[in-house]
Amino acid sequence: MTAEKSTSAPMALDRADARVKHEAGFGGALRAFLDRVRSGDLGSLPVIVGLVVIWTVFTSLNPVFVSSSNLVNLLFDCSTVGVIALGIVCVLMVGEIDLSVGSISGFASAMVGTLWVNQGWPVALAILAALAFGALIGSLYALLFNRLGMPSFVSTLAGLLAVLGMQLYILGSTGSINLPYGSALVDFGQLMVMPKWVSYTLAAIPGLALLISGLRTFARRRAANLSAPSVTGLVVRVAVITVGLELIVAYLNQSRGIPWMFGLFVGLVVAMNYALTRTKWGRSMTAVGGNREAARRAGIKVRAIYLSAFALCSLFAALGGVLAAARLASASQQAGTGDVNLNAIAAAVIGGTSLFGGRGSAYSALLGIIVIQSIASGLTLLDLSSSLRYMITGAVLAIAVIVDSLARRSRASHGRA
Amino acid sequence: MSESPERSASAGELVLSLRGISKNFGAVSALTDIDFDVHAGEVVALVGDNGAGKSTLVKILAGVHQPSAGTINFRGKPVTLPDPRAALTLGIATVFQDLALCENLDVVANIFLGNELSPLRLDEVAMEMRAWTLLNELSARIPSVREAVASLSGGQRQTVAIARSLLLEPKLILLDEPTAALGVAQTAEVLNLIDRVRARGLGVVMISHNMEDVRAVADRIVVLRLGRNNGIFEPDASNQDLVSAITGASNNAVSRRVERLRMERDHSGSAQAGE
Of B85, B103, B120, the CB nearest to A299: B85
How does pLDDT run across B222-251, given as a tens digit for each residue? Answer: 999 888 888 888 888 888 888 888 887 766
Q: Which residues in chain A touch residue B62, judged by CB atoms under 8 angstroms apart?
A: 297
**Helix %, strand %, coil % for chain A, to 5?**
75, 0, 25
Strands B28-39 and B14-25: antiparallel
* Interchain CB distance below 8 Å, A280 and B122: yes
Mutate to test the interface with B, among A2, A14, A19 (most CBs of B within 10 A): A14
Tell me what the mean pLDDT of segment B179-200 comes to: 80
Q: Which residues in chain A touch residue B143, judged by CB atoms under 8 angstroms apart?
A: 17, 19-20
For residue B189, pLDDT over 90 is answered with no
| CA–CA distance, A154 with A215 (Å, rounded to integer) | 48
Q: Which residues in chain A touch residue B114, judged by CB atoms under 8 angstroms apart?
A: 284, 295, 298-300
* Interchain CB distance below 8 Å, A226 and B142: no
Q: Which residues in chain B touch residue A286, judged by CB atoms under 8 angstroms apart?
A: 102, 104-105, 109
A153-177 as b/e, with b when 16 or more CB fall inside 10 Å? eebbeebbeebbebbeebbeeeeeb
**pLDDT for the residue numbered A8:** 40
* Interchain CB distance below 8 Å, B105 and A279: no
pLDDT band at A5 (very low <50, low <70, confident <90, very high): very low
**pLDDT for the residue numbered A405:** 82
| CA–CA distance, A147 with A150 (Å, rounded to integer) | 8
Tell me, yes or no, if B145 comes closer than 8 A to chain A by beta carbon: yes
**pLDDT for the residue numbered B99:** 63
* C-alpha closest to that of A371 among A95, A42, A77: A77
Tell me what the mean pLDDT of segment B8-22 comes to: 77
Of A287, A294, A415, the CB nearest to B150: A415
Number of Cβ pairs < 8 A linking chain A and chain B: 116
* Interchain CB distance below 8 Å, B103 and A359: no
Tell me what the mean pLDDT of segment B20-46 comes to: 91
**pLDDT for the residue numbered A331:** 92
Tell me, yes or no, if B142 comes closer than 8 A to chain A by beta carbon: yes
Q: How many helices (H) and strands (E) does chain A have?
A: 17, 2
**Chain B, window 232-251: residues with a beta carbon less than 8 angstroms from a chain A beta carbon:** none
Q: Global pTM?
A: 0.85
For residue A413, pLDDT over 90 is answered with no
**pLDDT for the residue numbered B4:** 42
Q: Which residues in chain B touch residue A352, judged by CB atoms under 8 angstroms apart?
A: none
The greatest distance separating any two alpha carbons of chain A, rounded to the nearest whole angstrom, comes to 85
How does pLDDT run across A259-316, given as a tens digit for each residue? Answer: 999 999 999 999 999 999 999 999 999 999 999 999 988 889 999 999 999 999 999 9
pLDDT band at B179 (very low <50, low <70, confident <90, very high): confident
pLDDT band at B115 (very low <50, low <70, confident <90, very high): confident
* Predicted ipTM of the assembly: 0.85
